[in-house]
Structure 1
């Protein structure tokens, strides 16, 4: 398993590139990023050990552009220096590379495509504009309407069917942050209106990999407050 990602300060411009000699994968990541979290979650679910290097995306180290010319996270590096980036590309690579370790995606190309389409549908419907944190009524209405549609879409215990699967792990980070967003923006998100989503979230939180990857709500709340205040702090709660 990886070290707790909460303990690793983000590297900035001028920093030295970390070196590892343990033979593990390395994930270049960002705290509180749902895209980065989905990669860490998948690796934890498959019980694959990995190193974490957190990258400050508003003050990126110069050397990081040699890893990913776009400068984005997440990015996965093999011990031999091979690089894969873009979160869903990385996730599918992990699934194929470690397919024998708790396989999640079907071999059939069409069924794979259906699952990836569902990921895009759920995220596209449930995503939110950060102006909702500032009390934007239109953004709040959009979030609430999206959650209502997601509630209608969810017809089984898990998005992948009767048990947790690839789709569930890929969309989870967008839902994990909802309790913190609700506390800041007072969005309508309740057992009365969204019983299926909340029941699914409860089931997800019984999965060890989800629990070990998830952020504490209070810490996430502090991060969102820093974003709302215009002084975003990816290292909130950490000591340098």
Structure 2
């Protein structure tokens, strides 16, 4: 069978190389779950990776996906979008090009204005720097809340509480993993998203995401996430 036989995979099916505590890997898991597509999972211990894993992803990162024809895909959003486009009947992505572009911009805004400051705050041991990062995070969540308010006025998201209106879809697949990690910030840094009107749309969306069954299917649990992030916290 050649080189393909030197690492584990599901013959004729999809194999997802994942890690339960990795937010990027959970994106891929949630894409397959939401599309209702069968797949096999190979759990990768990122602190003790299997000797064969570089054959799957030479960079050693998760997630990675082996498709039925043996093609390997990497990067969480690439895999999630592949699933959404490969199984359009699941309607995870909007068909309208403008709506699809607005969705991508929303995900990018979270990735640039929230996620980096989340990790910077976790890793910071300086109180002054932490206070500055908390202010930046608050501004980032305010911007996300404003984007949700705008989306819920559009036909593609009319009324919410999800980006696609009343449907859990690609925005939630892409971002649920990061929303469920917010208690980690509260635990280690005492940061919570403010409860003022400027953040109301964010809180409505976050509540809907956390309570949806698709979130629960891949949620590793609060204590597990807190423990998994401890390695990033210099003063823990």
Shorter chain as denominator, the TM-score bin is: 0.7 to 0.9
* Gap runs ≥5 in structure 2: 1-5, 153-160
Change (3 A) 1:211 1:178: same
Change (3 A) 1:108 1:63: same
How far apart are the structure 2 equivalents of 1:214 and 1:198? Answer: 19
Is 1:112 aligned to residue 100 of structure 2? yes
Give the equivalent residue in structure 1 for 2:134: 140
SS of the residue aligned with 1:80?
coil
Change (3 A) 1:129 1:164: closer
Q: By percentage of residues, which structure has more helix?
A: 2
How far apart are the structure 1 equivalents of 2:14 and 2:84? Answer: 14
SS of the residue aligned with 1:205?
helix
How far apart are the structure 1 equivalents of 2:204 and 2:94? Answer: 25
Give the equivalent residue in structure 2 for 1:29: 18
| 1:38 and 1:87 in contact (8 A); partners too | yes
* Gap runs ≥5 in structure 1: 1-15, 232-240
Give the equivalent residue in structure 1 for 2:204: 199
How far apart are the structure 1 equivalents of 2:192 and 2:210? Answer: 21
**Alignment TM-score, normalising by the size of structure 1:** 0.77
Change (3 A) 1:103 1:201: same
Summarize the alignment of residues 57-76 of structure 1 with structure 2, pairs less than 5 Å apart: 57=46, 59-76=48-65
**Alignment TM-score, normalising by the size of structure 2:** 0.78
How far apart are the structure 2 equivalents of 1:108 and 1:77? Answer: 29
| 2:34 and 2:214 in contact (8 A); partners too | yes
Q: Supply the RMSD in Å over aligned alpha carbons.
A: 2.5
Change (3 A) 1:104 1:130: closer
Give the equivalent residue in structure 2 for 1:234: none
| 2:7 and 2:55 in contact (8 A); partners too | no
Change (3 A) 1:19 1:93: closer
- Of 158, 161, 180, 2:165 maps to 161
How far apart are the structure 2 equivalents of 1:24 and 1:214? Answer: 24
Instruction: Using the TM superposition, give the Cα deviation of residue 84 of structure 1 relative to its aligned residue in structure 2, in angstroms.
Output: 1.4
Instruction: Provide Cα deviations, 1:111-154, integer angstroms capped at 9, x if missing partner.
Output: 32332222112222221243422453333332222122222222
